[in-house]
Amino acid sequence: MKGTYLGEFEEVVLLAVAIRAGDAYGAAVVNEIEQQMNRSVNLGAVHSALNRLQEKGLVRSEMGGISAERGGRRKRLYTVTNAGRRALEEVRELRSQMWEAIPKTAWS
Amino acid sequence: MSKSTASPPQLAQRLLRWFCAPHRLNELEDDLNELFHQRVETVGLRRARWRYCRDVLSLIRPFIIRRQPNEYPNPRTMDMLRNYLKIALRNLARNRVYSFINISGLAVGMAVAMLIGLWIYDELSFDRYFQNYNRIAKVMQTGTFEGEVFHSGYNPAPMGPELRNVYGENFSHVVMLSYDGNNDHILAYGDKKLTKTGSYMSAGAPDMLTLNMLSGTRAGLKDQNSILLSESTAEALFGETDPVGKMVKIDNRLDVKVTGVYEDFPYNTEYWDLKFIAPWDLYASSQEWVKRAQDNVEWGNNSWQVLVQIAPNTTFEAVSAKIKDIRLKHTPEVAFLKPKVYLQPMREWHLYTGWDKAGNSDGRIQYVWLFGIIGVFVLLLACINFMNLSTARSEKRAKEVGIRKAVGSVRSQLIAQFFSESLLVVAFAFVLSILLVLLVLPVFNEVADKQIGILWANPVFWLCGIGFSLVTGLIAGSYPAFYLSSFQAVKVLKGTFRVGRFASVPRQVLVVVQFTVSVTLIIGTIIVFRQIQHAKNRPVGYDRSGLITVAMNTPELYQHYNALRDALIQTGAAVDMSTSSTPTTNLNSRNGGFTWEGKDPALKASFGTVAVSHDFGKTVGWQFVQGRDLSRQFATDSSGIVLNQTAVRYMGLKDPVGKQIKWNDRSFRVVGVIKDMLMGSPFEPIYQTVYMLDYGWANVINIKLNPNRSASESLANIEGVFRKFNPGSPFDYKFTDQQYALKFAAEERIGKLASSFAILAILISCLGLFGLASFIAEQRTKEIGVRKVLGASVTNLWLLLSKDFVILVIIAFGISTFIARYFLNGWLQKYQYHTELAWWIFAVSGAGALLITLLTVSYQAIRAALVNPVKSLRSE
């Protein structure tokens, strides 16, 4: 397994895959990110991130069933693996840990 | 819905399809389309298209471009290779005719190229045996006489001492050399007498020529009465015993001690026939005229060669510049010749000796080029054949490609298959060509006058051979490998696959190239032989039949002219005998210093000079046009002189008989004029020549054999007489007609080689044509069947099939006519006495080529035309 360090964009993509659980393919992930973050992303960047995540073992892909909307062609669907879920949780924990550590006086 | 109206940018779509790996394309296109349609709704068409493009560009990433690894089971390469080999061999065995044409044609081409390559290698490695190859040079003189530039390797006797004493710091060695037309000497040890070629050389020669001494030392020539023998001579003379220290007699008069034995020079060196070396000092002291030339410092007598090895710190050019005026300094009277002395490096001796009248180099190198070009072309022909046939055949294998693809072959496997197949064929051809070369080499050596062997141990040879085979195999295999493997299995198997209309154009061009080369070679060969025949048909002015010459190399022969002659005639074996300064086949002496009444004082007249005895005319049978022969009945004939017709024209005499001619201070009276005797080169005009009586200036005995008796019997009788008069020497004789034939040897050699190559070239071309014709006939079987059903006759069909090839050959003939005219004209101009480029030679070559083509093609065409259409149309 490659290094499990999660880049910022990778984290976002991973989260998007998790949100779209069961129906996460390239275009869906792009839509999700654009809606959530209100910024435009390139399809290439998303696929690149998905590819990296897959290499790190954080997502896995499989060809989905035939659907009418794509003219009978199949989509590649991504799902978050256990390792992916753990990675997300770690990031989140790390963040909250750091949030906890901020002294109250910092905001004044 | 706007989905149907809005469409993404086509260019970006096409770009994506181009770079994207096929297994990801669908998915990505779908993603892109989905996003695009969404965006058309949300942000409008323009921005949607813009985003589409940006997305496509952002997808150019390695992991998208990378093709999917083969998901089929990957058999080990060796397994597949074995299968390819099996299929290839089955294919070869199934199409025996094609395989034969393909392999043998290529093998013959390769064998020719190999032979020529070996020949060129031999020519280029000439003289490299000598370790000082790059430092040795010959002292040459050049000048201009009667508007013609001459180069000569013969120098006066004082040249050696002059170079040694005045210019000594430039040379490591300066060696005088007695090396000219007559190097035959008699070596005697006890009762054994042998005639061997040898030379007298200065003591530095063994060091300069780096003799490989088998016994004795290189210092062996320092003693005046010594001799170095070559290994073969030593063996012939002494057998097993050690020759060093033994006494040997040269020419029955000089006693010398053997001081060393050297390894024979290889055949491809300038001095390959040098079987012994004796000291120059011995030569100078024993030969009166040499002694005189050396002692009196005669700068006018150019009879010897001078070899030098230049000092390590200088160059040939630098030394040449220093010594160029030596001749001018010592013989200012020949200033009109503009004489110049220069060094000709050893590396130029063999290939660059020979100059035309304008002084341009005209040496053997041009034959190296000629044969090199022929070799390349023959090889090219063979390759063209090979490629044509393999590509033509491969179209038949489209179905096989289809099947292979259908059962799972990927393209790289098909490529590998076709390459391995053509490489296999080339490998067969290569092995076969080596066998051919081995077979032909003895004959080739004889024709080319060489001693060449295959360079088994030379890596360059193998590198060239195998490298060439690889290249041919790859080029010939590339068409089927890349083109056929790109077919779509479905199309091929359904039968909708069609070869394009212009698929045969490259093949046609190649056929034209082939026939251009072949026809050019044929025309060239005919011209070469015509030229030789032309020169052979020249009148020679005397009777060569039954004429033999014997060299006079012992003192005994000079003292008994009349007794010897009487004894010879008495045996009945000889009709007559005479002596002369030169055999009739060699005009070896030319002299100036002639004056006569009415001579233009500005003319520096030069004549060929031949000394004869009274009986010379009767012996050789010269023919008088004016006056009479030299006769014993007139005492005044001792100062008589005979001219040839060219001499009379040259001197501008109206009525030559009785005129006085002075040669230096000797005065002669013309007694007769003979028809021109051809003594020099048969390709050059006859030289003005005078024949005078001189019994002392004699080098050969001419004997006319009795025509009524068998030559072998006569020769036995004559040998008996010579044994009596000349016991010290073996009886060696030369037939004049054989010597005369030798004058054509160089031209005949070229002719023979060129004609064999031309025949091979046309053979290879015809093989190719035969293969192509049969291929085309086969391809058009159905068409022919339909035509026959519709009423075409056999003649119609024959015309139909032959026409294409005939047109190609006619085009080739047109091109080759131009090429041949241009080059052969140049070649013929080199010979002053030459044949013309007659139109019929071209016509005959063209007709011949056409005939051969028709024969080759017709066989296939008629065979195809005779097939019953029911048979050809029944299938399917």
Substitution target from B15, B25, B26, B31 for chain A, most A beta carbons within 10 A: B31
From chain B, the residues in CB contact with A75 under 8 A are 27, 30
To the nearest whole angstrom, how far is the Cα of A45 from the nearest Cα of chain B? 7
Cβ–Cβ under 8 Å, residues B584 and B547: yes
- Chain B positions touching A40 (Cβ under 8 A) are 51
What is the three-class DSSP state of B550?
strand
Q: Is A75 on the interface with B (CB under 8 A)?
A: yes
Highest-pLDDT range among B20-34, B353-367, B379-393: B20-34
Burial B689-719 (b: 16+ CB within 10 A, else e): bbbbbbeebbbbbbbbbbeebeeeebbebbb
Cα separations (Å) of B561 from B459, B555, B696?
A: 61, 12, 10
With CA atoms as reference, the chain B residue closest to A76 would be: B27
Nearest-angstrom CA–CA distance, B128 and B636: 57
Predicted confidence at residue B2, as pLDDT, reads: 42
Interface test with B, best of A29, A33, A42, A67 (most B CBs within 10 A): A42
| Domains observed in chain A | 8-102 (1.10.10.10)
A26 touches chain B (CB under 8 A): yes
Interchain proximity B58–A43, CB inside 8 Å = yes
Is residue A89's pLDDT more than 60?
Answer: yes
Lowest mean pLDDT among B211-225, B364-378, B590-604: B590-604
Q: Give the range with max mean pLDDT: B94-98, B575-579, B588-592, B823-827.
A: B575-579
For B249, the enclosing helix (H) or strand (E) is: strand B247-250
Considering only CB atoms, B31 lies closest to which of A26, A45, A51, namely A26
Partner residue facing B35 (CB), from A27, A73, A75: A27
Residue B484: predicted pLDDT? 77
Residue carrying structure tokens 């005499």 = B653
pLDDT average, residue stretch B281-309: 85
Q: Is A30 on the interface with B (CB under 8 A)?
A: yes
Task: Say yes or no: A43 contacts chain B, CB-CB below 8 A.
Answer: yes
Let me know: does B437 contact B101? Beta carbons within 8 Å.
no
Closest approach of chain B CAs to the CA of A27, in angstroms? 5
Considering only the beta carbons, identify the residue of A43, A51, A75 that sits closest to B55.
Answer: A43
CB pairs under 8 A between A and B: 52
A47 lies within 8 A of chain B by CB: yes
Mean of the per-residue pLDDT values for chain A?
A: 85
Structure-token pair, residue B824: 């052969």
DSSP summary character for residue B350: T
Nearest-CA neighbor of B691 among B750, B644, B623, B636?
Answer: B644
CA gap B805, B90 in Å, rounded: 31
Across B707-731, average pLDDT:
85
Q: Which pLDDT score is estimated for B876?
A: 53
- pLDDT tens digit sequence for B242-266: 888 889 988 888 889 999 999 999 8
Distance from CA of B33 to the nearest CA of A (A): 9
* Percent residues over pLDDT 90 in chain B: 12
Whether residue B181 has pLDDT greater than 60? no
Chain A residues within 8 A of B55 when measuring between CB atoms = 42-44
pLDDT at A64 (0 to 100):
78
Ranges of each domain in chain B? 2-65, 75-126+358-499, 136-349, 512-538+738-876, 547-737
Q: Which range, of B8-17, B35-44, B361-370, averages the lowest pLDDT?
A: B361-370
What element of type H or E holds B322?
A: helix B316-323
Alpha carbon of residue B715 to chain centroid: 37
CA distance B52 to chain A (A): 9
Whether the per-residue pLDDT at A4 is higher than 70: the answer is: no
Q: Which residue has the tokens 């001018």?
A: B328
Residue B1 confidence (pLDDT): 40
Mutate to test the interface with B, among A13, A70, A74, A77 (most CBs of B within 10 A): A70
Among partner residues A42, A48, A51, which is closest to B54 by beta-carbon distance?
Answer: A42
Whole-number pLDDT of residue A93? 92
B35 vs A47: CB contact, 8 Å cut-off? Answer: no
- pLDDT at residue B439, rounded to an integer: 92
Q: Do A48 and B26 touch (CB under 8 A)?
A: no
Tell me the chain B residues in contact with residue A76 when contact means C-beta distances shorter than 8 Å.
27
Q: Give the mean model confidence (pLDDT) for residues B789-815.
A: 89
B226 near B530, Cβ under 8 Å?
no
CA B661 to each of CA B74, B502, B596, B656, B737: distance values in angstroms, whole numbers, following the listed order: 100, 80, 5, 10, 33
Buried b (16+ CB within 10 A) or exposed e, B42-74: eeebeebbebbeebbebbeeeebeeeeeeeeee
Which element (helix H / strand E) includes B370?
Answer: helix B365-395
- Measured CA distances, B438 to B112, B455, B456, B468, B532 (Å): 12, 11, 11, 19, 30
- Give the closest residue to B427 by CA, choosing from B385, B381, B466: B466
When the pLDDT of each residue in chain B is averaged and rounded to a whole number, the result is 85
Report how far residue B231's alpha carbon sits from residue B260's, in angstroms, rounded to the nearest whole number.
10
Residue B170: both structure tokens together:
């430039």
Q: What is the mean pLDDT of residues A24-30?
A: 89
Q: pLDDT confidence of B230, banded at 50, 70, 90?
A: very high
- Chain B residues with CB inside 8 Å of A26's CB? 27-28, 31
Residue A2 confidence (pLDDT) above 70 = no
Higher pLDDT, B207 or B731: B207
Asked if the Cβ–Cβ distance from B35 to A43 is below 8 Å, we say: yes
Q: CA dihedral in degrees (B512, B515, B516, B518; nearest 10)?
A: 160
CB contact under 8 A, B31 and A30: yes
> Closest partner residue to A43 among B26, B32, B63, by Cβ?
B32
**What backbone phi and psi angles, to 5 degrees, belong to B262?**
-115, 155
B27–A42 CB contact, under 8 Å: no
Banded model confidence at residue B767, pLDDT cuts 50, 70, 90: confident
In this prediction, residues B131-150 reach a mean pLDDT of 86
pLDDT at B137: 92
Cβ B102 vs Cβ B343: under 8 Å: no
